Amino acid sequence: MRKNKNTMAQMPLVKVNKLTKTYKDGDTVTPVLHGVSFEIEKGEFVAVMGPSGSGKSTLLQILGFLDGYTDGEYFFEGKLATSYNKDEVAEMRNKKLGFIFQAFNLLGKTTVLENVKLPLLYSQVPEKEWDTRATRAIASVGLSHRISHEPSQLSGGEKQRVAIARALIAEPSIIFADEPTGNLDSKSGKIVMEIIQKLNDEGHTIVLITHETSTAEHAKRIIHIKDGNIESDTRIHEQRKASLNYIK
């Protein structure tokens, strides 16, 4: 029994093995992912980089249980993804998965507080705790002074910070960020990435999808994907250490 407990403790949060994804439209078959394999441990900050059409966003959709896969295996918290039923998937998206999208996806004519509280509508968190949780999440992204504002009154960077607070509200096991700086200027993008980096420093697992090197460099590990295949998988701190040693 002790051996089984140790095995569970060492189990990666995410594991994909020879994962493939093919889209079919009539007689047209479009392969997107070609047997990718990797693991992500709890607490990691992984950036998945690649050009448009490389398959990185499709991969995020699969990891976030927003789309299925064609072949191979995907394990989340040690359980095969295809073994979750529809209700379990819905519950997981609400409790264990946080999402930050390029388009923000905020509700108009609704305050920052109400936007951030939205995921709690489908949770088991008592309603009396909603405002406290949301206020704390909003403060963590530095927007307490905007708590009563509507999205139309916010800058692009502030909207994305609201989206980050909303992703945090349910205290998820993992946060997926899909091109979170894509609609932002460089200054706002830097602020958003510093917040995401701080979340990782606090223990949150982050999977970031991006095509920008400057954004990916905030991560501790970069997976390069091209034409549906993994080209490289590099831990940033090891790469920087090697560079510093070379300079010396």
Task: Report how many domains make up the chain.
Answer: 1
CB burial of 81-98 (b: ≥16 within 10 Å; e: otherwise) equals beeeeeeeeeebbbbbbb
Q: 146 lies in which domain range?
A: 40-67+88-247
Q: Tens digit of pLDDT per residue, the chain (248 long)? A: 444 545 445 789 999 999 999 999 888 999 999 999 999 999 999 999 998 889 999 999 999 999 999 999 999 999 999 999 999 998 888 889 999 988 888 999 999 999 999 988 878 888 999 999 999 999 999 999 999 999 999 999 999 999 999 999 988 999 999 999 988 888 999 999 999 999 999 999 999 999 888 899 899 999 999 999 999 999 886 545 444 343 33
Contacts of 160 (CB under 8 A, 6+ apart): 100, 104, 180, 181, 183, 184, 188, 192
Helices marked H in the chain: 2-9, 56-63, 86-95, 112-117, 130-140, 156-168, 186-201, 213-216, 236-247
pTM greater than 0.85 (yes/no): yes
Is residue 10 situated within a structural domain? Answer: no
Is residue 118 situated within a structural domain? Answer: yes
CATH code assigned at 210: 3.40.50.300
In angstroms, the CA 68 to CA 205 distance is 22
State which amino acid sits at residue 37: S
Is residue 163 situated within a structural domain? Answer: yes
Classify strands 14-25 and 28-40 as parallel, antiparallel or unpaired.
Answer: antiparallel
Is residue 23 situated within a structural domain? Answer: no
Is residue 28 situated within a structural domain? Answer: no
In angstroms, the CA 171 to CA 79 distance is 20
Indicate the DSSP class of residue 182: T
What six digits make up the tokens of 46? 């992984």
* DSSP structure string for 187-202: HHHHHHHHHHHHHHHT
Is residue 44 situated within a structural domain? Answer: yes
Is residue 121 situated within a structural domain? Answer: yes
- Specify the pLDDT at position 8: 47
